[in-house]
């Protein structure tokens, strides 16, 4: 009787496998952002490098959020391997265009995972994934705005330096922003 009271409704194998793949995708995104940071810092875009390092850490937290969810649902965690990230770029604009494409791909992955959880009636996963859907809207918006700003300044050295400095002013996760914006 007591054992039955402690049971958590199971996650279907399909959903568990999809979450495992998403954990790997989030860790892959973290490594990708770190590679982008390395390229930027090597090319003396220190502000962009700082922004990308913080984004790498944020993606790592996303992976850990899913990792912890699987454990909270009383399932073992399997970690899949991740591919080596791209580390060569033609410009800082190329870096952020790649970042935008990456965020758009993660959004598609999260949407597909949410749809699968819905089809499989794994409601706890749907609730957890709602946070990720909201987060992806904000992440795509932020990177899209950065790309637009890079396109506005084009190759103007002074404007590129200003934009790089602005990116370097990104507060760490959890720090209070005084700008009132995102």
> Which CATH number is 146's domain given?
1.20.1260.10
Q: Is residue 96 part of a domain?
A: yes
| Structural domain boundaries, residue 63 | 9-80+89-168
HSE-CB for 135 with a 13 A CA cutoff: 15
Alpha carbon distance 91, 25 (integer Å): 25
Task: Domain count for the chain, please give it.
Answer: 1
pLDDT in tens, the chain (182 residues): 455 545 666 789 999 999 999 999 999 999 999 999 999 999 999 999 999 999 999 999 999 999 999 999 999 999 999 999 999 999 999 999 999 999 999 999 999 999 999 999 999 999 999 999 999 999 999 999 999 999 999 989 999 999 999 999 999 887 654 444 44
Full-prediction pTM beyond 0.85?
Answer: yes
Position 174 in a domain = no
- With respect to residue 182, please indicate whether it lies within any of the assigned structural domains: no
- CB neighbourhood size of 64 (10 A): 14
Asked if residues 14 and 116 have their Cβ atoms less than 8 Å apart, the reply is: yes
CA nearest 99: which of 143, 66, 129, 57? 143
Q: Let me know if residue 122 belongs to a domain.
A: yes
Whether residue 29 contacts residue 106, with contact meaning beta carbons closer than 8 Å, is answered with yes
The set of residues, in sequence order, having a beta carbon less than 8 Å from that of 102 and lying 6+ positions away, is 29, 32
Q: By CB neighbour count within 10 A (0-12 exposed, 13-18 middle, 19+ buried), where does 38 fall?
A: middle
């Amino acid at each position: 009787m007591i054992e039955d009271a402690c049971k958590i409704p199971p996650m279907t194998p399909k959903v568990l496998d999809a979450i495992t793949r998403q954990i790997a995708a989030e860790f892959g995104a973290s490594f990708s952002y770190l590679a982008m940071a390395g390229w930027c810092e090597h090319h003396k875009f220190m502000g962009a490098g700082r922004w990308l390092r913080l984004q790498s850490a944020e993606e790592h937290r996303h992976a850990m959020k899913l990792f912890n969810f699987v454990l909270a649902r009383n399932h073992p965690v399997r970690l899949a391997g991740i591919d080596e990230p791209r580390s060569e770029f033609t410009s800082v604009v190329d870096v952020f265009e790649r970042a935008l494409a990456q965020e758009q791909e993660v959004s598609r992955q999260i949407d597909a995972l949410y749809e699968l959880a819905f089809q499989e009636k794994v409601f706890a996963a749907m609730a957890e994934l709602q946070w990720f859907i909201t987060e992806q809207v904000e992440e795509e918006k932020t990177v899209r705005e950065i790309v637009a700003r890079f396109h506005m300044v084009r190759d103007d050295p002074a404007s590129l330096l200003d934009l790089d400095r602005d990116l370097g002013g990104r507060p760490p996760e959890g720090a209070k922003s005084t700008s009132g914006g995102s």
